[in-house]
Each structure stands twice: as structure tokens, then as C-alpha cells.
């Protein structure tokens, strides 16, 4: 049983040096969450992939907001950045394996994140606007089974 604030905080700690070097502010707003049956290491990898994308897409002096909250049926993790955003034509493909717009990207990070969340009975959603930023939301059932 895992409180998702823990692997999320660990992932945030890992990206903070890179974010700090770019002058990116990371803010955390973690609500109290119930423990749910998930693979903590896999979810940490998911959060790390999402946060690294945010840091890479955000210019110097930008911001990344990380928040968690709970609904009656789900635990929700939201990662919002003030980065370059994703174009409407690329948005439907962001979770496709090997799809990337980065010069040195593998196109695997978001696909892996999507696979992990889906394997836990959850969903990963994205909203984005070019030159304004991107928001990823991870929804996991409170009664998830791995």
C-alpha cells in the first residue's frame, strides 16, 4: 500500500537540480491521500518521466506546479508546466511509442508512463496550449489492483 505523495516527492527531488539550474520554480501542493495498492517504483518512474518532460519543455524562469488530491473514487496527480506546450496536431500522438518532437528524444517516456498508469487501472490525460504550457493528470482508482 502506497501513499502516492511519497513516490511523487521522490521523483520531484530527482528533477529539482536540473530545474534549479534553469531557474524553474517547482511548487508542491500535496493533499492528504489514502494508501492504495500500487507498485510504488513504477509510479515513481511515471512521475519522473512527466516531470522531466516538464523541465525540458519549460524555459528558464518558468514554473512547474505539482498537486495531488482525492475524489470519492480516484487519487489524482496533476503536473502543470509553463513550457512550450504541445501542438494540436501532436497532442493525439504524445503517448505513442517512439513519437517525439525532441532532437535527442527517444519517444519512450510518455508511452511508458501511459502503460504504467493503464496497467494500474488508471488513466493519463493531457491538456496543452502552445506557448502556454501543458498539464498532465494521472487518475488512479482508490481500489487499484496491480
How many structural domains is the chain composed of? 1
Q: Name the band, by pLDDT with cuts 50, 70 and 90, for residue 117.
A: very high
Is residue 136 over pLDDT 70? yes
Dist CA 7 CA 89 (whole Å): 32
129: nearest Cα among 79, 97, 78, 90: 90
Domain membership of residue 146 (yes or no) is no
List of residues 6+ apart from 31 with CB closer than 8 A: 67, 68, 69, 70
Q: Name the band, by pLDDT with cuts 50, 70 and 90, for residue 105.
A: confident
Residue 41 structural domain: 5-141
Q: Name the band, by pLDDT with cuts 50, 70 and 90, for residue 99.
A: confident
Q: Is 43 helix (H, G, I), strand (E, B) or coil?
A: helix
23-33: pLDDT as tens digits: 999 999 999 99
Grid coordinates standing for 31?
493533499
**Kind plus residue range of the DSSP H or E element containing 109:** helix 109-119
pLDDT above 70: percentage of residues in the chain: 97
Is residue 104 over pLDDT 90? no
Q: Which residue has the cell 501513499?
A: 3
Dist CA 66 CA 137 (whole Å): 10
CATH code assigned at 104: 3.30.565.10
Cα four-point dihedral sign 124, 146, 7, 49 = negative
Rg value, the chain, Cα? 14
34: nearest Cα among 79, 69, 10: 69
**Predicted pLDDT of residue 144:** 57
pTM of the model: 0.94
Domain membership of residue 100 (yes or no) is yes
Mean pLDDT confidence for 81-97: 94
27-77: pLDDT as tens digits: 999 999 999 999 999 999 999 999 999 999 999 999 999 999 999 999 999
Dist CA 74 CA 145 (whole Å): 13
Amino acid at each position: 500500500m502506497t501513499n502516492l505523495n511519497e513516490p511523487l516527492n521522490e521523483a520531484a527531488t530527482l528533477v529539482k537540480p536540473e530545474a534549479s539550474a534553469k531557474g524553474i520554480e517547482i511548487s508542491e501542493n500535496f493533499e492528504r491521500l489514502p494508501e492504495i495498492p500500487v507498485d510504488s517504483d513504477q509510479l515513481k518512474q511515471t512521475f519522473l518521466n512527466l516531470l522531466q518532460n516538464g523541465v525540458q519543455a519549460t524555459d528558464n524562469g518558468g514554473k512547474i506546479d505539482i498537486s495531488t488530491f482525492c475524489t470519492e473514487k480516484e487519487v489524482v496527480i496533476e503536473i502543470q508546466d509553463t513550457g512550450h506546450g504541445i501542438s494540436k496536431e501532436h497532442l493525439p500522438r504524445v503517448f505513442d511509442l517512439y513519437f517525439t518532437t525532441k532532437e535527442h528524444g527517444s519517444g519512450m517516456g510518455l508511452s511508458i508512463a501511459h502503460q504504467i498508469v493503464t496497467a494500474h487501472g488508471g488513466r493519463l490525460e493531457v491538456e496543452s496550449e502552445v506557448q502556454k504550457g501543458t498539464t498532465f493528470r494521472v487518475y488512479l482508482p482508490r481500489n487499484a489492483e496491480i
